[in-house]
Amino acid sequence: MEKFQKLTGIAAPMPLVNIDTDMIIPKVFLKTIKRSGLGVNLFDEMRYDRQGNEIPDFVLNKPQYRETEILVAGDNFGCGSSREHAPWALKDFGIKCVISTSFADIFFNNCFKNGILPIVLPQEAVDVLMTDAEKGSNARMTIDLENQTVTSSDGDVFSFEVDSFKKHCLLEGLDDIGLTMEKAAAIDTFEAAAAQARPWV
């Protein structure tokens, strides 16, 4: 997995609440057996009309947001389906960080598996960053994972919390299957004991 350490980039505002995974990547694009190539269909139904033409009003279609790497989003981003195609599409587009007041649980976990950092901040902080994101490509935010800070283009600094294990994996770009397999002995021991205690499983 690609490492995530420090990122300075364009942030796009998406203030809508409850942006769900069907909006992020509609199901017609789930019929792939690959992880790559989904960026072109990110937010497909909001981004294109039925003829496939870009809808100019949609934020990521605006010239100043075409190189967006950070999304500042409304509450409960990523609710709905477990489809990992949602973070795959974000990543493929080039988005490496999403900031919101809250995220849906499965989406949140899926992000970390793909080198995307979801950041939870209080409403007041998200409001400041949303306004900052509205300034377009002249306003670049900085995300510093090591120090757990977001810095707006005006220099406002917000600290965020992140699970220490998830942080470690992102900073180092670690594959957690490999890490878990190092604990195979503990799993073997547990499995043998569980088979004794609950042989019907």
Partner 1 sequence: MSPKTLYDKIWDAHLAHEGEDGTCLLYIDRHLVHEVTSPQAFEGLRMANRKVRAPDKTIAVPDHNVPTTAGRENPANMTEDSAIQVAALDKNARDFGIHYYPVSDVRQGIVHIVGPEQGWTLPGMTVVCGDSHTATHGAFGALAHGIGTSEVEHVLATQTLIQKKSKNMKVEITGKLKPGVTAKDITLAVIGETGTAGGTGYVIEYCGEAIRDLSMEGRMTVCNMAIEGGARAGLIAPDEKTFAYVKGRPHAPKGAQFEAALAWWKTLYSDDDAHWDKVVTLKGEEIEPVVTWGTSPEDVLPISATVPAPEDFKGGKVEAAKRALDYMGLTPGQKLTDIQIDTVFIGSCTNGRIEDLRAAAAILKGKKIKDGMRAMIVPGSGLVRAQAEEEGLADIFKEAGFEWRLAGCSMCLAMNPDQLSEGERCASTSNRNFEGRQGYKGRTHLVSPAMAAAAAITGHLTDVRDLLTETA
Residue type, 36: S
Distance between CA atoms of 162 and 119, rounded to whole angstroms? 8
Q: Considering the complex, what minimum distance in angstroms separates the CB of residue 166 from partner 1?
A: 9
User: Given the rule CB under 8 A, which of 4-12, 60-68, 135-143, 179-187 is the region that contacts partner 1?
Assistant: 179-187
User: Which among 118, 89, 70 is positioned nearest to 29, based on CA atoms?
Assistant: 89
Does residue 146 touch partner 1 according to CB under 8 A? no
Tell which one of 75, 94, 128, 162 touches partner 1 (CB under 8 A).
75
Does residue 41 touch partner 1 according to CB under 8 A? no
> What's the residue count for the chain?
201
What would the x/- binding string for partner 1 be over residues 114 to 143, using CB under 8 A?
x-----------------------------
Q: Which of residues 1-20 bind partner 1 (CB under 8 A)?
A: 15-18, 20
Residues at the interface with partner 1 (CB under 8 A): 15-18, 20, 22-23, 26-28, 30-35, 45, 50, 74-76, 79-84, 87, 102-106, 109-110, 113-114, 163-165, 176-177, 180-181, 183-184, 186-187, 190-191, 194, 197-201
